[in-house]
Amino acid sequence: MYNENIDIIIPILLTRHGVPEGDRRDGYLNLLIDSIDKFTNHPYKIYVVPDVRNEEEQKLFKELQDFYKSRDDVSILKSKNTDNSHSDTRHTLKDGRVVGQCSINKSIALETGILEGKGKYICLLDSDCTFLNEWTELVLPLLKEYFFVTASFRKDYNMARDQFFIYDRERFDKENLIPDCSIGDCGGNVTKYAEKNNFEFYICKNSTHWGDQSLKEQHLLDLEGYGEQIWVDEIPFLYHYNRGSSKNDYAFKLWLKVVGDYLKNHSGKTIVSKTEKMWWNE
């Protein structure tokens, strides 16, 4: 029923969030796919689900399809979302929390990608992320013990975050469960389900607002204080810019430069040190 792939689901905004005629932001995606190609030592297929809100973004959507049409392992999907409401439209969730249309759209985009794939594993991933190291050998073994693995946990909403969130498809299918935006935000429903049923889940060591910000001193990317780094077994494997689609042109170009240089310089290398001082195994 399932193949051995990791289905990597990437919802993206094609232009700058909050700007009606925003600048292009699909550059995040190209670098992310580059990092997946370099640092994923397991079969995978990538499902990209853009949020298309206007004619300009429809053109960018077709450009993406054309750009990746030669790759069998990358699919650019049309979201099941049919609501083109503005991002400031508000919705009240089951738990009473109010979220914006962008959260609803992201939830639908994730569902679109999840239902399209047939991989054994499902990995939800924000487009303003990059892998720093081979990660599958660190993360996949955890799924034998834990219900899911998440980059971080929002204590104020008591929910796992979905910027990096991976699980075994078969286990979720048995529970008739798909991460959605019905409680808290994207992924809140599965967190509540896990806690209700006493299913343990794994929260990665992280330098997020809800994690340990003192870890920012160990960041491998010099992004002038922006973003958050994620570790497993003391090894950094992921960097998340955080609200990348909302950042101004300077911050966007900074990401392109810093991450682009990192991927160029560290292609095919693996971090072997578990100490605060990292070095590279050639």
Q: How far apart are CA 129 and CA 242, in angstroms?
A: 8
Q: Please report how many Cα atoms fall inside a 13 Å half-sphere around the Cα of residue 120, on the Cβ side.
A: 9
pLDDT of residue 90: 57
Rounded mean pLDDT, 14-41: 84
At residue 22, the pLDDT reads: 62
Distance of alpha carbon 2 from alpha carbon 87, whole angstroms: 36
Given this model, what pLDDT does residue 187 score?
85
Q: Could you tell me if 254 and 223 are in contact, meaning their C-beta atoms sit under 8 angstroms apart? A: yes
Phi, psi of 91 (to 5 degrees): -135, 140
- Backbone torsions φ then ψ of 109, nearest 5 degrees: -65, -45
Structure tokens at 181: 């935006």
Residue range 40-75, pLDDT digits in tens: 999 999 999 998 878 888 999 999 999 999 999 999
Residue 214 Cα to chain centre, angstroms: 23
Evaluate if residue 213 carries a pLDDT over 80.
yes
Token pair 């209700």 in the structure block, residue = 196
Better pLDDT: 151 or 184: 151
What are residue 54's phi and psi, to 5 degrees? -155, 180
Q: Which of 248, 196, 189 is nearest to 224 (CA)?
A: 248
d(CA 111, CA 102): 14
* Exposed / middle / buried, residue 139 (Cβ in 10 Å: 0-12, 13-18, 19+): buried
User: pTM of the predicted model, to two decimals?
Assistant: 0.90
Contact 143, 169 (CB under 8 A): no
DSSP letter assigned to residue 253: H
More confident residue, 269 or 81: 81
Q: What is the sign of the dihedral through the CA atoms of 75, 3, 28 and 105? A: positive
pLDDT at res. 269: 60
| 245/238 Cα distance (integer angstroms) | 18
Whole-angstrom distance, CA of residue 48 vs CA of residue 78? 9
pLDDT in tens, 223-259: 998 999 999 988 999 999 988 788 888 999 999 999 9
pLDDT at position 273: 47
Render 255-278 in DSSP notation, one character per residue.
Answer: HHHHHHHHHHHSTT-EE---SSS-
